[in-house]
């Protein structure tokens, strides 16, 4: 059994990825230092790289999957992103990595290798478009800024940078779920049936990329949530290259609303509760402000463990891209994953489950505020806010990196007008 994980185009249920239809054969496949680029030429360009658009993968377990990426770009929404770019004469380069849990700075070197290759192979002088989905936007943001600040690196020759629901100000993964994952791994991580699932999920949370991306990280069930040292180091490295690439236009989209309207998840309520073969009265709550007990974890026959937070905002209900996972029983999400793990551990789960939560707050995706600030999270986002030159927020709070007609067509129009 494989673990449920967060992929660039949303979480994937166990066993789902293998069922995806295969992607079309790319026209070219570039072997890069630390990854692979799959090149799809526009039918208008006679198999020449004329107007390259590089789209980077983001965070997940293991190596990038072309089938999964193609499905997210072309089949998993109501807008066929690659096809629409091809229709405008843009050539699409899908950038993947050998290890999507590696540090952002390490995978940025792979992105630099891809950008350099695209510049060298391009016919004509059209500027590149470079960006990514989810953490892929951070990878390419750092890569472009590094290329501008390191004299040993070539000119990126990029005219437009784009990000799609990228955690510019950090991502949110509920502290209660992080604690439960580590607690379950500590207690049942060595069991033959569920051990590999638990260890992989816990390992994802403790990977270099997750630590750099998450605003609040918890390395063990009894730990204190905060910025991991890896995130502090990444933010310093990003600041050292100027924070952003400067010699281009920067745009982005958010899968959350700009109005400040919440997603319907209330703070401080029990999201999931399980009791049975391995757990006794174990529950997880949605995040609330103040000194707050977010989880009670108890192994059957053991002592309860209380997980507390202090000073965090009501972020589970904040406007933003949602942690959503399609499944046979209907869409679920972050707390739904915890309910699934409790069930797999042999417990009965209270049917009243809060399934999902905010994953990438709107103000993070458009770089318009500090997500630790309660007021900023729920304040309407104005057009002149943030570090991007232009951005668009979704008309509703929807699944993280869902490609919609609304957001996709806006990006394509921006790419066309960037010439």
| Measured CA distances, 366 to 104, 139, 337, 384 (Å) | 19, 16, 27, 11
Q: What pLDDT, on a 0 to 100 scale, did the predictor assign at position 213?
A: 97
Backbone angles phi, psi at 198, to 5 degrees: -65, -40
> What token pair was written down for 323?
């942690």
Q: What pLDDT, on a 0 to 100 scale, did the predictor assign at position 325?
A: 62
Q: What pLDDT, on a 0 to 100 scale, did the predictor assign at position 64?
A: 97
Please state whether the predicted TM-score (pTM) of the whole model is above 0.85.
yes
Q: Are 337 and 271 in contact (CB under 8 A)?
A: no
> What token pair was written down for 263?
């997603």
In sequence order, what are the beta bridge partners of 333? Answer: 324
> What token pair was written down for 333?
């999400």
| Per-residue model confidence as pLDDT tens digits over 241-258 | 999 999 999 999 999 999
CA-CA-CA-CA dihedral for 224, 226, 227, 228, to nearest 10:
10
In order, the DSSP letters of 134-161 are THHHHHHHHHHHHHHH-TTSPP--EEEE
| Measured CA distances, 188 to 34, 137, 181, 207, 278 (Å) | 33, 35, 10, 20, 9
pLDDT truncated to tens, each residue of the chain (419 aa)? 333 344 555 544 444 444 678 999 999 999 999 999 999 999 999 899 999 999 999 999 999 999 999 999 998 778 999 999 999 999 999 999 999 999 999 999 999 999 999 999 999 999 999 999 999 999 999 999 999 999 999 999 999 999 999 999 999 999 999 999 999 999 999 999 889 989 988 999 999 999 999 999 999 999 999 999 999 999 999 999 999 999 999 999 999 999 999 999 999 999 999 999 999 999 999 999 999 999 999 999 999 999 999 999 999 999 999 997 654 444 467 898 899 899 999 999 998 888 899 999 999 999 999 999 999 999 999 988 999 999 999 999 999 999 999 999 999 999 999 88
Tell me the pairing of strands 332-333 and 324-325: antiparallel
Distance CA 342, CA 348 (A): 8
Distance CA 419, CA 407 (A): 20
Tell me the pairing of strands 35-40 and 28-32: antiparallel
| Per-residue model confidence as pLDDT tens digits over 108-130 | 999 999 999 999 999 999 999 99
Q: What pLDDT, on a 0 to 100 scale, did the predictor assign at position 269?
A: 96
């Amino acid at each position: 059994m494989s673990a449920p994980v967060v992929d660039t185009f949303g979480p994937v249920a166990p066993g789902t990825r293998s069922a995806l239809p295969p992607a079309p054969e790319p026209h070219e496949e570039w072997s890069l230092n630390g990854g692979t680029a799959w090149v799809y030429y526009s039918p208008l360009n006679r198999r020449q790289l004329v107007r390259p658009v590089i789209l980077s993968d983001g965070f997940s377990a293991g190596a990038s999957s072309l089938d999964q990426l193609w499905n997210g770009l072309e089949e998993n929404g109501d807008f066929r992103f690659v096809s629409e770019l091809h229709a405008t004469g843009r050539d699409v380069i899908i950038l993947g990595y050998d290890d999507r849990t590696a540090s952002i700075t390490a995978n940025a070197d792979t992105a630099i290798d891809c950008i350099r290759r695209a510049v060298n192979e391009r016919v004509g002088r059209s500027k590149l478009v470079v960006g990514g989905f989810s953490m892929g936007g951070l990878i390419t943001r750092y890569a472009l800024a590094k290329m501008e600040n390191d004299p040993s690196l070539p000119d990126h020759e990029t005219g437009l940078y784009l990000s799609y629901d990228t955690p510019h100000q950090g991502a949110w993964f509920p502290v209660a779920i992080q604690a439960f994952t580590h607690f379950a791994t500590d207690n049942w991580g060595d069991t033959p049936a569920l051990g590999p699932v638990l260890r992989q999920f816990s390992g994802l949370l403790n990977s270099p990329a997750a630590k750099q991306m998450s605003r609040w990280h918890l390395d063990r069930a009894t730990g204190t949530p905060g910025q991991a040292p890896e995130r502090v180091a990444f933010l310093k490295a990003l600041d050292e290259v100027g924070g952003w690439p400067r010699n281009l236009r920067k745009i982005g989209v958010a899968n959350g609303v700009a109005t400040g309207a919440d997603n319907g998840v209330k703070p401080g309520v029990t999201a999931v509760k399980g009791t049975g073969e391995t757990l006794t009265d174990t529950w997880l709550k949605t995040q609330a402000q103040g000194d707050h007990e977010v989880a009670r974890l108890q192994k059957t026959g053991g002592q309860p463990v209380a997980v507390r937070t202090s000073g965090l905002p009501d972020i589970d209900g904040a406007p933003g891209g949602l942690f959503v996972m399609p499944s046979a029983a209907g869409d679920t999400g972050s707390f739904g994953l915890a309910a699934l793990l409790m069930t797999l551990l042999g417990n009965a789960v209270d049917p009243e489950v809060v399934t999902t939560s905010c994953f990438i707050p709107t103000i993070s995706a458009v770089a318009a505020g500090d997500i630790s600030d309660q007021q900023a999270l729920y304040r309407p986002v104005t057009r002149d806010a943030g570090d991007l030159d232009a951005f668009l927020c979704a008309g509703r709070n929807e699944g993280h990196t869902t490609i919609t007609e609304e957001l996709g067509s806006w990006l394509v129009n921006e790419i066309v007008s960037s010439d």
